[in-house]
Amino acid sequence: MQEKTQWISYQQPRTQELKIPALADSNVKLLVRREDENHPLVSGNKWWKLKYNLLEAVNKNYDTVLTFGGAYSNHIYATAAGCKELGKKSIGVIRGEEVKPLNPTLSYAEKCEMKFHFVTRCDYRSKTEQAFVASLEEKYGRCFIIPEGGTNTLAVQGCEELGKLLLESTFDYVCLPVGTGGTIAGIIKAFAGSRKIIGIPVLKDGGFLKYEIEKLVPGHFNNWQLMSNYHHQGYAKTNSELEKFIVEMKLFAIPTEHVYSAKLFWAVTDLVKKRFFEPGSTILILHTGGLQNVTPAK
């Protein structure tokens, strides 16, 4: 089978205005960039984070890509789809015990022929240690390894391209969810101090991400901040309020899910109500995809 040398096609997403009657007197304009529409399978920020990673795997003639993630990981889903598209084998090192039936994320990855390697949460903490990685290479052979969430310098390179595309639009703030920090790091780099960037960590105690992001971004920019109080009890966690909000967002033609996007839109609407944004501002909400996660977490 002849390897493909080009990354999978990108579909230019639309930007739509979000008009919520309850926010009508806020004197701000809400726009949504629908990166969730940029590809049917490798969608949202994952298209950008995987672009140079999977091209590197192709260019260096790796047959297999190995990566890490939780059971609801958008990265696992997208990596499996991308590898299938490019004719590569894939292995997912999954945090936690295997639970049957598989959730929609892992079910799809399995359909893409991804092999799973389930590890305990304790062992998963060793995912970056040399001995742990060596044990995986001994078991699976030569693999192109992509870290959890796809975040590395190649991912930042792709997300910097996304950031430059965003700058072609008119807005004052961009708001986006934050999981491992790679997407926001690329956007910070692209903006180089211009405009304002608000990141919404989707995991509990996400303040540590500030330091992870700073390690990925050369230079010191003060135009960004993290708002860490919108995680709804942690990564892939949900509650009745958030599920109700997801239903309400459908009324405004915005599909969301409980892992990333619903928490982002919840945060933005709450910040608008609290008059966080300057009057007359335009806020660009970056929908980063993940819509396969439509089943509430347990």
DSSP tag of 245:
H
Q: How far is CA 286 from CA 59, 102, 199, in A?
A: 31, 29, 10
Residue 175 has pLDDT above 80, yes or no: yes
Residue 11 and residue 33 in contact, taking contact as beta carbons nearer than 8 Å: no
Computed over every residue of the chain, the mean pLDDT equals: 93
Residue 160 has pLDDT above 90, yes or no: yes
Residues with Cβ within 8 Å of residue 262, at least 6 apart in sequence: 238, 242, 245, 246, 249, 256
Q: What's the first-to-final CA gap in the chain, in angstroms?
A: 41
User: H or E element: which one contains 90?
Assistant: strand 89-95
Residue 149 to residue 75: CA distance in whole angstroms: 5
Task: Report the percentage of the chain scoring pLDDT > 90.
Answer: 89
Q: What is the pLDDT of residue 202?
A: 95
| Residue range 249-258: mean pLDDT, rounded | 94
| Residue range 256-279: mean pLDDT, rounded | 96
Residue 9 has pLDDT above 70, yes or no: yes
Residue 107 has pLDDT above 60, yes or no: yes
Task: Report the percentage of the chain scoring pLDDT > 70.
Answer: 96
| Residue range 119-135: mean pLDDT, rounded | 96
Question: What's the pTM value of the predicted model, to 2 decimals?
Answer: 0.92
Q: What is the pLDDT of residue 236?
A: 85
| Residue range 197-223: mean pLDDT, rounded | 93
pLDDT band for position 188 (cuts 50, 70, 90): very high
Total Cβ atoms within 10 A of residue 28: 19
Residue 261 has pLDDT above 80, yes or no: yes
| Residue range 174-187: mean pLDDT, rounded | 97
pLDDT band for position 139 (cuts 50, 70, 90): very high
| Residue range 76-91: mean pLDDT, rounded | 96
Among 2-11, 40-49, 56-65, 145-154, the minimum mean pLDDT is found in 2-11
Give the strand order in the sheet containing 64-69: 115-119, 89-95, 64-69, 144-146
Residue 92 to residue 98: CA distance in whole angstroms: 12
- What length is written for the chain? 298
Domains, the chain, ordered by start? 15-40+153-287 (3.40.50.1100), 45-150 (3.40.50.1100)
Residues with Cβ within 8 Å of residue 277, at least 6 apart in sequence: 26, 28, 172, 173, 271, 283
pLDDT band for position 137 (cuts 50, 70, 90): very high
- The encoded tokens of residue 151 equal 């975040």
Q: What is the pLDDT of residue 295?
A: 42
- The encoded tokens of residue 222 equal 């003060």
Residue 61 to residue 297: CA distance in whole angstroms: 37
In sequence order, which ranges of the chain are alpha helices (DSSP H)? 45-59, 74-86, 104-111, 121-124, 130-140, 153-166, 182-191, 209-216, 240-250, 261-273
Q: What is the pLDDT of residue 294?
A: 53
Q: What is the pLDDT of residue 7?
A: 81
Residue 293 has pLDDT above 90, yes or no: no
